[in-house]
Amino acid sequence: MQTNILYIGRDPEITIVMNRLLNARPEWKGICVCTDEEAILVFKKEAVDLVLLGNGINQECEQALRSELEAIKPDVKIIQHYGGGSGLLYGEIMLAL
């Protein structure tokens, strides 16, 4: 079974790296976007199991995103990921799931 993970970040270069890391594991499908609008469109279209919030998202945007995503799918898991390498990323995701 594949876990669909939506990563939302503001830095395009980091978003590219996150896309590579998330899609390197066959059990994960990563979808990585840089804007809230893209995130909402993807979230409505895909069966997302986990949302990762990357750095660059201020508290106001985070709260608005959480509210909108939870209104669409109340039981979605949303966690923050601010970097730290693939080992930390794996641990964060496994803990959230």
For position 77, what pLDDT does the model report? 95
pTM of the predicted model as reported, rounded to 2 decimal places: 0.92
Distance CA 61, CA 36 (A): 8
Q: How confident is the model at residue 94 (pLDDT cuts 50, 70, 90)?
A: confident
Could you tell me where the DSSP H helices lie in the chain?
A: 12-22, 36-45, 59-72, 86-96
Among 12-16, 27-31, 55-59, 62-66, the minimum mean pLDDT is found in 55-59
Residue 3 pairs in a beta bridge with: 28
- The secondary structure of residue 56, as a DSSP letter, is T
Q: How far is CA 79 from CA 5, 27, 62, 76, in A?
A: 11, 19, 10, 10
Q: Distance between CA 12 and CA 29 in Å, rounded?
A: 18
